[in-house]
Structure 1
């Protein structure tokens, strides 16, 4: 029986490898962007508060005056993904997504997204090398994906979260300027080096985005992880107007990513884009609750959202039978690749029920 079981696993992996040969995944996270902003748009109470918004006139014109506030803030998510793919987490209309870890902040959230399960031992954002194997590391060990997995992040803790030293997955986190391989990257590196840092551990997302975009065009990786950070950092500082600007700017990055993928024959028609967040934010009634997150401090900051668009995704799905979990993202990515997620971790969260039935 043991031999038969091992044979079954081997056959499953072999079949998965064949199915995954042409499939690609781009996984993106927007740090700490609330579902409330994604599905309601700008909060009028916060957006009109001079404590949090310096240029209220500009914010009002951009985000409050439009008839559809959510589309004004994140047009790509609503005009493209919600219609051609799935957008889960609108709690006002019976849709739900959340993290399943008990911390509700970044390292535990990213570990859950990338490994398919929460780890109760992770209780800080310290850059401790992750003892857990992420889906990126596991894929990088498979022959079909070896050397074709890359990560681009704005936060400098990601080399530890992905454990790049052990996993072999290259992580461009912006703390050092990578060696340029063309004139564009040389210019990008100069600008990154010459740009002041607001935050000591986070670079501006424009650099993360453009390094990732250039790698997609040049290197054609099969799996790419991109983590944008400004939506969290501006929020922590209480700059609501800048947080809204960051959300809209990042939505534009997503549109550019998707447009680039669809224009490239290596990716068009075989790439799934998955977008989510590592945690929510406070939703209390006290002034400034939206700035923070964490269990025991900011209620409801476990509430998140998930967006998926790709060739095998059922369009228009907005609800799941149970509240969708961040622990389901890894298995969802593997399913999109055509890989049996149980070969990675049978105890990970199961894939989201968003895929079309296989053709007979």
Structure 2
């Protein structure tokens, strides 16, 4: 009888331990962030020497050089992205500095936005059906939809984007995932005072691009969602870097990148003081495509005809991430690995349709 009780106690203890481990795994929250068309060159080397003083792409070269130019790439990148290089580099991982042999590539052959976002969010390229940036509902299933279809994830997923195509990329109508993108305002019967204010200011603010709003609205709508509803899986896409680049405004491109760095820092700091997110949140950051370098004017462009536009980057930090810093060894990662990595970190099964394998963080 004593042995039986002892065995029973051991079984109960093991059961409690397993349950606790499962609960800990399920408590993981993921913030997935993209910076549209932001080159790996600026992330890892800061302001480009061929562009920062180029009057074809900069209005006030003296002012821009004073703000962003420093003697070494290390100093320049720290000036451009201070949060990434003063904090993320010490607690997380930065992949994609091709000068060190660390490579991150797209697997789709289009090298522009909708195919890039589809690959990131679904774990597989779809060159047969995703061939344009048109507002076509995505036939593929994103990780946002997968999580929203679980009992744990229902109502705990949200997406925010500056580009107005995201409701189609996420397939908001089919997936049931709420998407606030483009010039959409916050809706519902329980709007906070801050959401009401954002709605008013967004309506009053100037429109620079017809299909892309300023990132300040995307960011603050997303942050308010985190405070109010605490989504377990949140996707945010900042867009200014790509649109300023397309316009040939290198000064505005750099300024947008620096603002985004500060916004991401604000998100991180919020998660570290919020009981729901603290010590339970992992951040994953990337871009939907690269840009050209040679000839110089191709920095404004991307697509299959632009050399180097398939080269991207990947950054991660937060819960369970090994603090590798900037990766200095040869490696080859792909954008289709991000979706299965998110599912793995959240303790969800990975569909066979996903072509990428989860990354070891």
TM-score normalised by L of structure 2: 0.90
Q: Deviations over 1:95-151 (max 9, x none)?
A: 111111000000000000000010012110001000000010000001111110000
Distance apart, 1:65 and its partner CA: 3.1
Residue of 211, 229, 233 corresponding to 1:223 = 233
Q: Which residue of 1 aligns with 2:293?
A: 283
Counterpart-to-counterpart distance in 1, 2:328 and 2:151: 35
SS in structure 2 at match of 1:282: coil
1:302 aligns with 2:310: yes
1:20-48 Cα shifts (integer Å, max 9, x gaps): 43110000000000000000100011110
Q: Which of 262, 270, 278 in structure 2 is aligned with 1:268?
A: 278
For 1:15 and 1:143, the matched residues in 2 are separated by 19
Structure 1 residue 351: Cα displacement? 1.1
Aligned equivalent of 2:101: 94
Q: Which moved more, 1:26-35 or 1:317-326?
A: 317-326
Distance 2:284 2:270 in 1: 15
Q: CA deviation at 1:235?
A: 0.1
Residues 94 and 321 (structure 1 numbering): CA distance in 2 closer, same or farther, change over 3 Å? closer
Deviates more, 1:179-188 or 1:156-165: 179-188
Coordinate RMSD, CA, aligned: 1.8
Rounded to whole Å, the distance in 1 between the matches of 2:140 and 2:353 is: 14
Residue number among 30, 33, 38 corresponding to 1:28 in the alignment? 33
Contact 1:152 1:225 in 2 (8 A): yes
Q: Secondary structure at the match of 1:275?
A: strand
Counterparts of 1:1-40 in structure 2, within 5 Å, are 18=23, 20-40=25-45
Q: Report how many aligned residue pairs link the two structures.
A: 337
**In 2, Cα distance between the equivalents of 1:28 and 1:103?**
21
1:170 equivalent in structure 2: 178
| Of 48, 54, 60, the match for 2:53 | 48
Flag the 1:203–1:78 CA change in 2: closer, same or farther, 3 A: same
Q: TM-score, normalised by structure 1?
A: 0.90
Specify whether residues 276 and 16 from structure 1 end up closer, same or farther in structure 2 by C-alpha distance, changes over 3 A only: farther
SS at match of 1:26: strand
**1:66–1:207 CA distance, 2 compared to 1 (3 A):** farther
Aligned positions of 1:214-253 closer than 5 A? 214-253=224-263
For the 8 Å contact 1:115–1:348, the answer to whether it is kept is no
Gaps of 5+ in 2: 1-18
Q: How far 1:346 sits from its partner (Å)?
A: 5.6
Partner of 1:6: none
Residues 150 and 169 in structure 1, CA contact (< 8 A), matched pair in contact too: yes
Which one of the candidate residues 197, 203, 208 is aligned to 1:198? 208
| Uncovered stretches (5+) of structure 1, i.e. residues with no partner | 1-13, 355-360
- Which residue does the alignment assign to 1:351? 358
SS in 2 for 1:308: strand
Give the greater-gyration-radius structure (CA).
2
Q: Work out which of the residue numbers 179, 184, 190 in structure 1 matches 2:187.
A: 179
Deviates more, 1:109-118 or 1:167-176: 167-176
Tell me whether 15-24 or 192-201 shows the greater mean CA deviation: 15-24
Contact in 2 for aligned 1:320/1:353 (Cα 8 Å): no
Task: Tell me: CA distance 1:116–1:35, structure 2 relative to 1, closer, same or farther (3 Å).
Answer: same
